[in-house]
Amino acid sequence: MRVLYFGEDTILSERIEGLVKKQGFLYSVLESYDEIYTSAFDVLILDEHMPCLFNAAFIKKICANGFIHSPVIVITEKENFEIKKLCFELGIRAYLKKTEVDFRRLARYLETFKKERANFEILKKMKIAVLDDSVFSLSLMRNFFSSHEIVQVDYYQDAAEFLKRKNEHKYQLFLIDLVMPEYDGEEIITHLRKKNPEAIILLITAYNNGSAISHCLSIGADDFILKPLEVKLFMARINSCINHYRLNKEILRNEERLFELASKDFLTKAYNRTYFFNIYKQKLAEIYRDKQALSFVLLDIDYFKNINDRYGHLKGDYVLKELVRILKKIIRENDLLCRWGGEEFVILLSNTSLKEAEALAKRMQLSIQQHTFEEIGSCVTASFGITQKKENDANDTIEAIFKRLDNSLYLAKLTGRNRVVCDESLQVDYEGVLRPIDWGAFFKSGYTDIDEEHHELVSKINEMINGLSAGAPKDRMLRLAAELIRKHVRHFRHEEYLLQKLHYKKYSEQKAFHKSFLQRLLRCYKSLQDQETITMADVQYFMEGTLVQHIVKNDFKFFFLLKNKK
């Protein structure tokens, strides 16, 4: 914005120049009022002492069309009421005393003019609809807008034709006549507010009917103006409406920013835990009402610490953001992706069966594995755990769901990583490769003796897996199976003694499980004796029973009793 000063007071000029430049505007001093006609400016500050002020034709020309042409501020030597009245009649925007110029007030004026100019630029970019049955009124509007280079305007003499086109969302500003045949302004406003609640609606009427105008304002019109149109007042009303429009837009943007801060992870822009739980509650109501399946995917980047250590934390952040971008390409719009913490993410899949969720997770796994990350390559992988909300099961709480997800994810990690485990179900082979179990913190109870015994069981399972992979003879595999059963017997005796001593409430249930589980293993062993060879499915049975049925689904229940015990 450029500000011009026309006066002979150099001290005042310097003070005004300092204020103008502080606000980021350009500043110039005119030598004669003839320069006003040849100089481009946005605000003119006149010293009353200059003789041109008393030339009414000159002032009127300068102030011709309100803020479309440049506003004028007068600074006077001494306050003269008659001159003040004349100034305002001619269109002067402000009248300030020179001896005690309120520079804060002047700064507010300049800021206001800047906003008005910005509003006019917004008006030029807006799509505008004018609805008026009067050919004369439409012609006036057309001339007004075209003379000020406002070109994105559609004119409708027939309101019914406008409604028939169903393009209400196309416009940001509506100018509507109150009284029209077939449909009146009230009906149009009611319709528009349902279809386009954020638009500006300005009511134009030749009838100064307070009740009708008040009603239209109450149902959604932003303002009104009477015919015949007075340009400065018309622009002032539009300016006021655009101010409100901008304010509402800013409020919406702030609400969106607050929502994002409250619901999204700052780094990856995936949703956060708080938002996940809110949506989960909504989804519960939906699945009960519509009988829909609700599935969950929990994934974790493999060896993420190594990425941070080798490439730096900024590269680690990049991998997290890139991973979210990959996942968003695969999931549907109504699926929910959340950062659960660190390098762990959870996905809520609406109306998705467990089989569909598993297929989707495998697509994600493959996409991550095949993706080339800048400066890292295609060495990033992720492990996945999947489960589904159990239908009509009140005990299947969110805690139970995440327990299954956690267990499934850890089992994926412990059986080689870069794989998908569904509902705590293990496989000996993964894409034709036999993988031993990695013993780790996941299996540990904190009680040394129990942990050592569990480690022995896992080690024996790994011997069976390695024996199968190496093509060990049947008698060798049978000996390994028998040793595994004997270790279970010794372990169960010790475990039952310990749980009874600790007064475990589910001691009887645990003892009954031990008996049933041993019977199943013995039946399987006898079956193996009658077979020609030991197969992958046989080893799978022993592994699944030992790791999942025994340790994960049963022993994990009492681990809380064993913490910090030796």
Pair of tokens at residue 185 = 């302004």
Judge whether 28 and 6 are in contact, CB under 8 Å: no
212 CB-near residues (< 8 Å, 6+ apart): 178, 186, 205
Query: Strands, DSSP E only, in 342-458?
Result: 344-350, 382-388, 420-422, 429-430, 433-434
Distance CA 471, CA 477 (A): 10
Helices (H), 52-165: 56-62, 81-90, 103-125, 135-147, 159-165
Distance CA 402, CA 109 (A): 60
β-pairing, 294-301 vs 382-388, is antiparallel
Q: Does the active-site annotation cover 333?
A: no
Pair of tokens at residue 341 = 């913490």
Sign of the CA dihedral with 540 first, then 542, 546, and 549 last? positive
516 CB-near residues (< 8 Å, 6+ apart): none
- Residue 357's nearest CA partner among 332, 321, 320 is 332
6 CB-side CA count, 13 A: 23
Could you count the other beta carbons within 10 Å of the beta carbon of residue 332? 11
- Quickly tell me which residue has 């309120």 as its tokens: 102
- Quickly tell me which residue has 């019977």 as its tokens: 519
Count Cβ atoms within 10 A of the Cβ of residue 376 and give its class: 0-12 exposed, 13-18 middle, 19 or more buried: middle
End-to-end CA distance of the chain: 79
Given 343, 358, 453, 495, the catalytic residue: 343
Residue count (the chain): 566
List the catalytic residues. Answer: 343
